[in-house]
A and B are shown apart, each in its own frame.
Chain A
Amino acid sequence: MQADIIIVGGGIMGASAAFFLRRRGKSVILLERGLVGQQASGVNFGNVRRQGRYLQQLPLANRSRAIWDRLPELIGEDCEFVASGHLRVCYTREQADKMEAYSQDARDYGLDLEMLSSNALRARFPYLGRETIAGCYDPSGGHANPRLTAPAIGRAARRAGADVREEAEVVGIAKAGDDFVVEVKGQGELRAPMLLITAGAWGGKLSALFGEPVPLAVHGPQMTVTEPLPYRIAPTIGVSTPHLHETVYFRQVKRGNIICGGFARGPASNETNRATVLPEAILGQMEQLRRVMPGFANVSTIRSWSGIESYLPDDVPIMGPSATTPGLYYAFGFCGAGFQIGPGVGDVMAELIATGATTTPIAQYGISRFASLAP
C-alpha cells in the first residue's frame, strides 16, 4: 500500500493535516491506534482562545482562528463552535498591568483586546466575584466541543479521500531508500516518501527512532462539568495569575452545562494509557471557581475527566521538518494548548509538506532545539 504521505496519530493535528493535504491533492493514509480524537484532542477544555498565547504564536493562532469560522463550509459541521468571546480576569493590580501590556503588544499581531476596569467588568458580567479587579476581553474568542471536533475533521478527511484507519497500531517504522515503511499491526506494511508524526504524548517515542529524542512530559487536565443551568454565560472565562492553583477557567455551553478546568495538573501515563482527576483537585477547583463566580456555590458538579497531554520544558510545541531525516515531519507536544491552533497546524503542515515552505513562521517550533539530547 503506497501513498504520498503517511500520518501517524489521529488527533486534531493529524486529522486536520490529512484534511488539508487532501485539499492540496496529496494521497494520505492516517493511522490512529484507537479512535480519532480520543486522546488529548477529545478531552481538553475546548477553548478557542488566542488571548494569552505567547506573542510569537499569534500568527499561527490567527490562521487557525480564520479556519474555525469556516468549519461548516470546510467540514460540514460547526462542532458547536461559538465566537461568544473570551474573558481573562485577575485578582491583583500587578496582574492587571501584565494583561494591559499584553493587550498593547497583541495589537501588533492583529489581536484586538479590550481592557475592562472593575466597574466595567461588573456591569458587563455581573456574575463575577468581588475579588476580580480587572478583565481583558477578546470578542473574537469562544469555545467549541472537543469531543466532536477531531472526529468530525477525521470524517471530513475521509470524505475528501484520505485513507483514515482507526484501531491501526503502528508497530514498526523504518526508512528504506526513499520510502518510509510503516508496519501496522495485523495490516502489513505501508509505504510513503513522506511521514508526519502527530502522535501527541506518544510523539517523542517516534521521534527518538530517528535520533531526535525530546524531553516530553505527560500530565492530565483536571476537567469537571456542572449540571445543566439556564444559559447566561457567553464568554469563556479564565483567571490570569502566576499561581497554578488559582488558574481556573470555565465556559457554559448553550444547552446549559458549565465546563470547568484548572487548579492542578493530574498524573497521566502514556504507558498505561491512564490519566486521573485527583479528588483533591476537584475540591480545590471548586474553591477557586467560587472566588471567580460565587454563584458556583449553588450548583453541582456531575462529572470529571482527564486525558493524556504532553508538555515540553519551554512550553513550546514541536512542529516542522525533522533535522535528521528528509521527508519526515513533526507536529506534537502542544503543551495543553493545542485545540485552538489544531486546524491551523494541520493547514500549515499541509502547506509545508506540499510546497516545502510555510507562509506562517514556524522556525521557533523546530525539533533541533533539543538536538543536544541526541545520543
Chain B
Amino acid sequence: MIIVGAGPAGMRAAEALAAAGIRPTVIDEGQLSGGQIYRRQPVNFTRRYEALYGADAKKARALHKAFNALQGRIDYRPETLAWNLRDDVLHIVTDGVAAALRFDALILATGATDRLAPIAGWTLPGCYSLGGAQIALKAQACSIGARPLFLGTGPLLYLLAYQYLKAGAPPAAVLDTAPFAAQVKALPDLAVRPGFLARGLMFRARLRAAGILIENGVEPLAIEGEGKVAAVRYRTAGGTERRIACDAVGMGFHLRSETQLADLAGCPFLFDAATGQWRPDADRDGRTPRAGIYVAGDGARLLGADAAEAAGRLAALAALTDRGMEVDMAEVARLRRRMERLDRFRRGLATAFPWPARLACAVADEVIVCRCEAITAGNIREAAVGKDAPELNRAKALSRIGMGRCQGRFCSSAAAEILAEARNVPLAEVGRLRGQAPIKPLSMATVKGERP
C-alpha cells in the first residue's frame, strides 16, 4: 500500500496501516513529514513548538511524535515526487532517479494549495500567495516584506496576518473580499468547531488592538508599483476608493484541492456548487469508485487539519477492510461521526469566505490570468467567443490557458469563471481541465531506476 503525502491525513493513514501490520510506502514531496499546517522547521532551526504552531502546538507535537514512532515500520520517502500514475503503478522520482511502484491500494493525501484569482498587478514581484507567505515565515522565519498587506478571503487570511504581527512585521491592512454579513451568517456552522471560531475572533481582535485596518466586503482594484509592489488600490464595501501603501502582498481565496493524481488514476469528479470546484467522487470513508484508490484530507475535501487526521485514518481503515482485514468498526463509526460534524464546518467556511466569482469574471482583458504562459483574460474571452470554445480543455487548446508549469492549478478557477461568463453558461458546464503527467515539472535529466 502506498500513501502519497505526509501531512496530517497521510501521517495518520500510515499510522493506521502500520498498526495493522502493513508496511506502507509514504511518498512525501517535503524534506520532512508534517505537510503544510504542521510543517517542520529545517533540522538546524530550533524554534519551540509553541512559537511555530501557536495554539496548535500540542496537536503538532502529537502528530510528529506519532509519525516518528513509525520509523522502521513504514517505508518513508521524503523529497520524492509522485509524478505519474497508470495501471496501478505509481511513478516516483527521488533525487533525479525514477522508480515505478506497483500498488494494491493507494491513499492520496495530497493536500491543498491556495486558490487564486487574478487582480491587475498580481504578477508584480512582491506578490505572494497566502500559503507561500506562511511557509516563508514558518519554515525559514522570513517575512515577505516589512509592511505586507494581506488580501483575499478565508481563515488563513486572519491567521497569517496575526502571525506576521506577532513575528514583528505588522500588516499594512487585512482586506477581505467576503462581506462581514457572510461571516455572521456562517456562525452557527462554524460553531461546530468552537475553538477554531474563538481563535478566528481572537485574531481579529488582536489585529484591531494593534491598530491594523481590517476591511470586509472590499473589491480589489489593482496591485500597483513600478517593478515591485508599492500599494493596493481597492473599493470599500461603502463604495469609496482607497489606496494603501505596502511593500508586499499576500493573497489567496481559501484553498483548492490537489487532485491531479486522482485524475490520472481515472477517478470520476463531482462539481461542488457551494465552492464552484470539482473534487474526486468518494464515499464517506474516502473510497473512490476506482478500485484501490482512496482520497483523504484537504486533497479530497477542504475540511482542515483536524478532519484530515480523521480522514487519513478512515481511508486507511477502508483500504484494510477492502483487503479483507478486520478493523475496529466502533472506531470507524466514531471517525465517520466526526467527519460529518466537520463537514458542517466546511459548509460554514464556504459561506463565511465565499470564492469571489464576480471578481474573476470582471477581470480586465489585459490582466494576466495564467502566469506560467502569460495568457490574459482577453485571450480566454477570444477563445470562448471568437474561436467558439465551449469548455475549458478546448479553451486551453486554443488559448494556452493552463498549459504551463502549474498546469492550471493556479489559474483554472478564474479561467473557468471567465469562460462561463463569456459563454453565458453555468460554471459547471465549462468543465475542468484534464490532468496530464507529469503532475509537476520533471527534470529531463531524470534517469530510470528500479522496475515495478
Could you tell me which A residues sit within 8 Å of B by CB distance?
35, 38, 42, 147-148, 151, 155, 225-228, 255, 276-280, 282-284, 286-287, 289-290, 296-305
Decide yes or no: A298 and B442 within 8 Å by CB, A147-B398, A279-B100 being known contacts.
no
3 A-B pairs with the lowest CB-CB distances in the bound complex, closest first? A300-B441, A297-B445, A279-B84
Q: Is B448 an interface residue (CB 8 A)?
A: yes
Given the complex, which residues of B lie within 8 Å of A228, measured CB to CB? 373, 404
B436, A300: Cβ atoms closer than 8 Å: no
A211-B437 Cα distance, complex, nearest whole Å: 41
- Docked CA distance A303–B447 (Å): 18
Contact status B387-A155, CB under 8 Å: yes
Q: Among A155, A277, A287, A296, which residue has its beta carbon within 8 angstroms of that of B447?
A: A287
Shortest C-beta distance, B388 to chain A (Å), equals 8
Query: A155-B387, A305-B436 given as contacts; is B394 within 8 A of A283 (CB)?
Result: no
Q: Which of A38, A42, A255, A286 contacts B444 (CB 8 A)?
A: A286
User: A300 CA to B441 CA in the complex, in Å?
Assistant: 6
Cβ of A276 and Cβ of B86 under 8 Å apart?
Answer: yes
Q: Is B44 an interface residue (CB 8 A)?
A: no
- A282-B438 in contact (CB<8A): yes
Tell me whether B442 and A301 are in contact (CB under 8 A): yes
Query: How far apart sit A42 and B437, CA to CA, in the bound complex (Å)?
Result: 18
**Residues from 363 to 399 in B contacting A, C-beta threshold 8 Å:** 373, 387-388, 390, 394, 397-398
State which of B98, B390, B436 has its C-beta within 8 Å of the C-beta of A303: B436
Cα–Cα, bound, A147→B91 (Å):
28
Q: With A147-B398, A255-B373, A297-B443 given, name 15 new contacts (CB 8 A).
A: A148-B398, A151-B387, A228-B404, A277-B437, A279-B86, A282-B84, A282-B442, A283-B447, A286-B445, A289-B444, A300-B442, A301-B443, A303-B407, A303-B438, A304-B437
Known: A147-B397, A148-B398, A151-B398. A301 touches B436 (CB 8 A): no
B245 interface residue per 8 A CB criterion: no
B405 interface residue per 8 A CB criterion: yes
Complex CA distance for A147 and B373, rounded to whole angstroms: 16
Q: What are 6 A-B residue pairs whose CB atoms fall within 8 Å in the complex? A: A42-B397, A228-B373, A283-B98, A283-B448, A300-B444, A303-B403
Q: Which of B387, B403, B437 contacts A279 (CB 8 A)?
A: B437
Q: Are A301 and B397 in contact (CB under 8 A)?
A: no
Whether B398 contacts A226 by the Cβ 8 Å rule is: no
Contact A302 B98 (CB under 8 A): no
Min distance, Cβ A20 to any Cβ of chain B, angstroms: 21
How near does chain B come to A224, taking the closest CB pair, in angstroms? Answer: 9
A304 to B437, CA, bound (A): 6
Chain A residues contacting B68 (CB-CB under 8 Å) are none
Complex CA gap A213/B373 in Å reads: 45
CA distance A286 to B84 in the complex (A): 15
Give the Cβ gap from B430 to chain A, nearest Cβ, in Å.
14
Does residue B321 face the partner (Cβ distance < 8 Å to A)? no
Complex contacts, B447 vs chain A, CB 8 Å: 283, 287
* Contacting residues, chain A, for B444 (C-beta < 8 A): 226, 286, 289-290, 296-301
A303 and B402 alpha carbons, distance in the complex (Å): 11
Instruction: Give complex CA distance A301, B443 in Å.
Output: 6
Contacting residues, chain B, for A296 (C-beta < 8 A): 444
Provide the bound-state CA to CA distance between A298 and B443, in Å: 7
Q: Bound complex: CA of A297 vs CA of B394, how far in Å?
A: 31
A265-B91 Cα distance, complex, nearest whole Å: 19
Q: Identify the closest chain A residue to B90 (Cβ).
A: A279
The CA of A366 and the CA of B100, in the complex, are separated in Å by 45
Give CA–CA (A284, B444) in the complex, Å. Answer: 10
**B140 CB–A CB distance under 8 Å:** no
Q: Which residues of chain B are near A300, meaning CB under 8 Å?
A: 405, 441-444
Chain B nearest CB from A67 CB (Å) reads: 21
- Residues on A with beta carbons closer than 8 Å to the beta carbon of B407: 302-303
Alpha-carbon gap, A290 to B390, bound state (A): 39
For the complex, what is the distance from the CA of A306 to the CA of B189, rounded to whole Å? Answer: 46
Contacts of B373 in A (CB 8 A): 228, 255
B193 CB to nearest chain A CB (Å): 39
Shortest CB-to-CB span from A80 to chain B, Å, is: 11
Using a CB-CB cutoff of 8 Å, which residues 417-438 of chain B contact chain A? 436-438
CB neighbours (8 Å) of B387 from chain A are 151, 155
Contacts of B397 in A (CB 8 A): 38, 42, 147, 151
Closest to A260 in B: B444
> Across the interface, do A35 and B394 meet the contact criterion of CB distance under 8 Å?
yes
Q: Are A304 and B86 touching (Cβ within 8 A)?
A: no
Q: Which residues of A contact B388 (CB under 8 A)?
A: 155
How far apart are B133's CB and chain A's nearest CB, in angstroms? 24
CB distance from B160 to the nearest CB of A (A): 29
Q: How far is the CA of A228 from the CA of B398 in the complex (A)?
A: 18
With A and B bound together, what is the CA distance between A296 and B403 in angstroms? 20
Q: What residues of chain A lie closer than 8 Å to B98, measured between beta carbons? A: 283
CB within 8 A of A302: which of B390, B394, B405, B446? Answer: B405
Cβ contacts under 8 Å, A42 to chain B:
397
A287 to B84, CA, bound (A): 17
Residues of B near A255 (CB, < 8 A) are: 373
* A283 lies within 8 A of B436 (CB): no
What residues on B are CB-neighbors of A35 within 8 Å?
A: 390, 394
Whether A282 lies near B437 (C-beta < 8 A) is yes
Chain B residues with CB under 8 Å of A298's CB are 444-445
Which residues from chain A contact B436 at a C-beta distance below 8 Å? Answer: 303-305
- CB-defined contacts of B448 to chain A, threshold 8 Å: 280, 283-284, 287
Chain A residue numbers with a CB within 8 Å of B398 are: 147-148, 151
Closest to A295 in B: B444
Cα A299 to Cα B388 in complex, Å, equals 34
A218 vs chain B, min Cβ distance (A)? 18
Contact partners of B100 in chain A: CB under 8 A:
279-280
A287 cross-chain contacts in B, Cβ below 8 A: 447-448
Residue on A nearest B390 in the bound complex, by CB: A35
Which A residues touch B86, using CB under 8 A? 276, 278-279
Query: How far apart are A271's CB and chain B's nearest CB, in angstroms?
Result: 16
A-facing residues in B242-259 (Cβ within 8 Å): none
B2 CB to nearest A CB, Å: 15
Which residue of B86, B100, B404, B445 has the most chain A CB atoms within 10 A of its CB atom? B445
Q: Among the listed A148, A225, A279, A286, which residue makes an inter-chain contact with B91, where contact means beta carbons less than 8 Å apart?
A: A279
Of all chain B residues, which has the CB nearest A306?
B436
* B397: nearest chain-A partner, CB-CB: A147
Chain A proximity mask over B25-69: 1 for CB below 8 Å, otherwise 0: 000000000000000000000000000000000000000000000
Query: Which residues on the B side are within 8 Å of A151 (C-beta)?
Result: 387, 397-398
CB-defined contacts of A280 to chain B, threshold 8 Å: 100, 448
Interface positions of B from 79 to 101, Cβ below 8 Å from A: 84, 86, 89, 91, 98, 100
B89 contacts which chain A residues (CB < 8 A)?
279
A359 to chain B, nearest CB (A): 34
A276 to B264, CA, bound (A): 11
Instruction: Tell me whether A302 and B437 are in contact in the complex, defined as CB-CB below 8 angstroms, given that A286-B444, A290-B444, A296-B444 are known contacts.
Output: no
Complex: A287 Cα to B97 Cα, angstroms: 12
